[in-house]
């Protein structure tokens, strides 16, 4: 597994080109170093993790019906919907757009002055998985890469170009295994380190390229998040040379 430090968009793009050389990849940005594990794996549960997982799924199915745009057809669809709304699942978010993934790493100030992390994962063809209605997401024999179905309008029209890794639960160890700790996947991973003092610069450069909350979340929530950012300063935005761009021309 390769680790590289980056400090500008131009270096970032050049670095990805040198490493990837046209091979299909997915990307993930994180504000801090933490294992490539789904949210479910980080829960502290009073019962076994798998029982908690099943309980959350069953309760979500029963309690969300009146709030749904349409009824999910499979457990994969239910997990996608749960993941989208922040409930812990065995899915981990990735994007096929590296600039979007980088934005998720730097859109807020550094966490306790820690460096951000950008992951490039180059799956082999055998790593991708297209679930059928009969496929059980809880019976995977290893971690796989899955394209989510558009089960809500926001997933369907969003600009995140999202994919998931669906994580295998190791029954012998009674835990999920982080992707970067799996010997089978380590050669397919590249980690870029984002110095905390570069967060603001990269955030502004991404905005100049049109990558911001309004683009990534094309709804009222995304628009409001971008407007608030435009009309204020985050804690690390103290460089007068960095100028924000607006969504439309001001008169």
Q: How far apart are CA 11 and CA 98, in angstroms?
A: 13
Question: pLDDT at position 185, please?
Answer: 95
Contact 211, 229 (CB under 8 A): no
Residue that is written with structure tokens 């998985």 in the block: 129
Average pLDDT of span 186-214:
95
Q: Is the dihedral of CA 227, 94, 177, 196 positive or negative?
A: negative
**For residue range 83-92, what is the model confidence (pLDDT) as tens digits?**
999 999 999 9
What is residue 123's predicted lDDT score, i.e. its pLDDT? 95
Please state the rounded mean pLDDT for residues 209-221: 92
CB half-sphere exposure, 119, CA atoms < 13 A: 28
Residue bearing the bigger pLDDT, 128 or 2: 128
Structure tokens at 221: 């929530």
Question: What pLDDT band is residue 69 in, cutting at 50, 70 and 90?
Answer: confident
Helix (H) or strand (E) holding 130: none
**pLDDT mean across residues, the chain:** 91
């Amino acid at each position: 597994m390769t680790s590289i430090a980056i400090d500008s968009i131009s270096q970032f793009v050049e670095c990805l080109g040198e490493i990837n050389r046209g091979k299909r990849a997915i990307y993930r940005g994180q504000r801090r170093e933490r294992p490539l594990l789904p949210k479910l794996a980080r829960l502290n549960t009073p019962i076994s993790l798998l029982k908690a997982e099943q309980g959350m799924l069953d309760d979500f199915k029963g309690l969300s019906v009146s709030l749904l745009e349409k009824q999910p057809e499979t457990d994969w669809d239910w997990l996608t919907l749960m993941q989208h709304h922040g409930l812990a699942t065995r899915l981990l978010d990735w994007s096929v757009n590296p600039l979007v993934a980088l934005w998720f790493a730097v859109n807020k100030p550094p966490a306790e002055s820690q460096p951000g992390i950008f992951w490039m994962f180059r799956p082999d063809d055998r790593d991708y998985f297209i679930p059928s209605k009969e496929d059980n997401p809880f019976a995977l024999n290893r971690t796989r890469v899955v394209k989510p179905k558009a089960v809500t309008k926001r997933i369907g029209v969003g600009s995140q170009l999202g994919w998931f890794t669906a994580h295998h639960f190791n029954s012998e160890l009674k835990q999920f295994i982080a992707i970067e700790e799996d010997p089978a996947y380590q050669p397919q991973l590249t980690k870029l380190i984002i110095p905390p003092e570069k967060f603001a610069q990269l955030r502004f450069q991404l905005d100049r390229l049109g990558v911001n909350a309004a683009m990534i979340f094309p709804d009222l929530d995304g628009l409001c998040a971008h407007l608030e950012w435009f009309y204020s300063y985050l804690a690390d935005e103290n460089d007068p040379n960095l100028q924000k761009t607006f969504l439309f021309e001001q008169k």
